[in-house]
Structure 1
């Protein structure tokens, strides 16, 4: 079972073999990841620039632009530290060393176990957690570093407090959070700038802004306990 704090992480699979790509996609989707696909190097570049994935699963032997070239481009030209797992039939020590020198975070040799790949993805994401703060699932996308929140690609205009609330809810999907817990996530050292009840007003305003974009009530009140962001 995927750890809750990894739900919503977006994965770009760059693989020209449809059987391998679909197999990996099935396992990733089952674990709650948002899956993006590319079949060649050029498409991979476009998806990276457009979608800003949290981790890249990269086949090295691609038509046109090679996986090595994509890895080099990500690190040197695109200037991104997104985690990269190389997925390849190249098995020599020389190839592995080259992959790591190019900036790969892990190296998985074909044929591979899909289950092991999932474990490696999770391990790499945990190890590189500071590189990707973006969360994206059920139509919601939040980018803390850029201060952006979107629903189905449409910008949500939120106050600073509302943005923090949405971020907290998306970090804890399908979990009941009390007002005290929510405030403890927002304020450090137990310093509270608002009362427990004032938070209800902020959540009401956030709900209304979300409902302007989608009819479903994603933030639900759990009587006597707090609030829950329904992600399923």
Structure 2
């Protein structure tokens, strides 16, 4: 039985690597879908709506970078993405994260460790997949959609995840450190807490406030709070 009824799309042009990852995923009960190039990956993504992508950067037809950008911008999906690459430089990892990847694994890698990373990400992202409603905001996590008073809001990948994190913890104070851990897992040394302030500022600009009360409230010296009522 597939954990939580979810599937993983493995996008890798090297058939041996792709099938090895598939074997390890299926051992843990996941449904593993396969794609060998970027164009096929997008077709399968639209058709099967997987819960996570394992995405190689160096792909025929469309690169992994192009696939990631299309998923995040054109399709506006927040589906978790783990990038695979032989490039080990820090700049490459940062670039991958900026494009919207949730994790970055360098080759060669341990298939078991990769599956563990899949489990960790899915445990965090699918445990609250229900639709959330607060103060005119309706957020649909799996669809990557957010509506405010009936209108669709255009949010970036990180803005959507940030709002989802806030709405999943209504009226709770969330520290900048907690938000960094949520938005950039495993990348504590790369991302500063100042990045959180930038994301919150941009998100506030896109949200309209009711009366004099902000939806995202600054708690001085502590962090931020989503005011649900």
3-state SS, counterpart of residue 5 of structure 2: coil
3-state SS, counterpart of residue 12 of structure 1: strand
Q: Distance in 2 between matches of 1:115 and 1:145?
A: 26
CA deviations over 1:129-160 (Å, ceiling 9, x no partner): 25767xxxxxxxxxx979xxxxxxxxxxxxxx
The structure 1 segments of at least 4 consecutive aligned residues displaced by more than 4 Å after TM superposition are 130-133
Cα deviation, residue 35, structure 1: 1.0
Instruction: Determine if the alignment matches structure 1 residue 128 to structure 2 residue 122.
Output: no
Q: Distance in 1 between matches of 2:120 and 2:60?
A: 29
User: Which residue of structure 2 aligns with residue 14 of structure 1?
Assistant: 11
Q: Which runs of 5+ in 1 are unaligned?
A: 134-143, 147-232
User: Which residue of structure 2 aligns with residue 104 of structure 1?
Assistant: 101
Q: Distance in 1 between matches of 2:58 and 2:124?
A: 26
1:44–1:5 distance in 2 versus 1, CA, 3 Å: closer
Show the 5 A alignment for 1:33-48.
33-48=30-45
User: Which residue of structure 2 aligns with residue 70 of structure 1?
Assistant: 67
Tell me the TM-score normalised to structure 2 length.
Answer: 0.55
Q: Which runs of 5+ in 2 are unaligned?
A: 131-140, 144-229
Show the 5 A alignment for 1:145-224.
none
1:132–1:60 distance in 2 versus 1, CA, 3 Å: farther
3-state SS, counterpart of residue 87 of structure 1: strand
Q: Distance in 2 between matches of 1:36 and 1:5?
A: 12
Structure 1 or 2, whichever has the larger Rg, is: 1
User: Which residue of structure 1 aligns with residue 92 of structure 2?
Assistant: 95
Query: Matched residue pairs, number?
Result: 133
User: Which residue of structure 1 aligns with residue 28 of structure 2?
Assistant: 31
Cα deviation, residue 5, structure 1: 8.8
CA RMSD of aligned residues (A): 2.2
